[in-house]
Amino acid sequence: SPSDPTLVERAQRAKAALGDRLFVLGHHYQRDEVIQFADVTGDSFKLAREAAARPEAEFIVFCGVHFMAESADILTSEAQKVVLPDLGAGCSMADMAALSQVETAWELLEDLGIAGSTVPVTYMNSSADIKGFVGRNGGVVCTSSNAERALTWAFERGSKVLFLPDQHLGRNTAVLEMGFDLEDCVLYDPHKPNGGLTPEQLRDARMILWRGHCSVHGRFTLGCVEEVRERVPGVNVLVHPECRHEVVTAADHVGSTEYIIRTVEAAPAGSSWAVGTELNLVRRLANAHPDKQIMFLDRNVCYCSTMNRIDLPTSCGRWRSWPPAAWSTRSRSTPTRHTTRASRLTRC
């Protein structure tokens, strides 16, 4: 918890002073100490919509990670300032696809004569320049709550999809929601020549999956599911689609963070839930529903380290000086280790 005991009160006062000029968004994986100040909480899809729906807000503080704030920045007007409290709050998955790597992959598809029939689809969890590449090449951006709709749209326009950067969301959606075979999917490794694939594999594939994954959801294993089923009879296993295919296949329910929350809320008292997503959210769900047994799917604690970089001192501690005098000079950020594009995102 924050060491400065006056921090909460000061942040409350500063927020009240700014009134409607300030709008605070909080992703479900944020710490409690940050979430308490959010005007709206949500998954990345809901938060992007909320940001776009606030033209009156001069300052949008995005308590989440870089690609989310960057997306809000794209969806809001030039006059609005989107603030990411810590520019080092990136996403390891988004960092697994660099524009130059994606361009190399696309050139390979062009050389093989299959780029024309391939629609690129990128998960929201990617940098703005990847989203731009996808847009320029007739593709679309999806989130975990609309991936099936996005893939359906893409397959109406081409016979193949290049799915970036989360292999698991791409595979799980294609196989479990759209009835594809696992053999329809190939894994493109940007660190290997030709992605580690033969021309035949690329020509035959319907889904070309980028070799990227979430460092949090990728930790859950089939063993975790088996262990909890043995330990807690009747337990419901509820996971995010960024989990590995074998984990999602073995689970009872799969969906985005908003879906996970809705499912737990609708569950009957006394039911047991092992939830495979980020720990801040699972903890909050457990605290909010003491009548249900809610546990983390993996017994080893796992937060998203970059989501956790946003804490009360970084996100709210400087609100007393808002809006900062030197705002315009601060609004040109430089990329950090976790960021892939200089944008007009601002830190406080």
143 contact, one of ligand SF4, ligand 13P, none, CB 5-8 Å limit per kind: ligand 13P
| 204 Cβ contact partners less than 8 Å away, ≥ 6 residues apart | none
Q: Which does 215 bind (CB under 5 to 8 A by kind): ligand SF4, ligand 13P, none?
A: ligand SF4
How far apart are the C-alpha atoms of 181 and 63, rounded to whole Å?
Answer: 38
| Cβ atoms within 10 Å of 326's Cβ, excluding its own | 8
* Of 184, 241, 191, 232, nearest in space to 209 by CA: 184
Minimum Å gap between C-beta 346 and ligand SF4 is 20
CB atoms closer than 10 angstroms to residue 142:
24
Task: Examine residue 304 and tell whether it contacts ligand SF4 (CB under 6 A).
Answer: yes
Q: Which partner, ligand 13P, ligand SF4, none, binds residue 44 by CB below 5 to 8 Å per kind? A: ligand 13P
**92 scored as a contact of ligand SF4 (CB under 6 A):** yes
Q: Is 2 annotated as a binding residue?
A: no
Enumerate residues 6+ apart whose C-beta is below 8 A from 291: 269, 270
Closer to ligand SF4 by Cβ: residue 88 or 196: 88
| Structure tokens belonging to residue 59 | 């300052």
Find the part of the chain contacting ligand SF4 (CB under 6 A) among 1-9, 85-93, 96-104, 258-266: 85-93
Report whether 61 contacts 318 (CB < 8 A).
no
Binding pattern to ligand SF4, positions 193-232, x when CB under 6 A? Answer: ---------------------xxx----------------
308: contact with ligand SF4 by CB under 6 A = no
Contact 208, 174 (CB under 8 A): no
* Residue 277 known to bind ligand: no
Residues 208-247 touching ligand 13P, rule: CB under 6 A, are 214, 242
**Cβ count within 10 A of residue 55:** 9
Instruction: Please give the annotated binding residues for [4Fe-4S] cluster, written as ranges.
Output: 91, 214, 304
Binding site for ligand SF4 (CB under 6 A): 29, 65, 91-93, 125, 214-216, 278, 304, 306-307
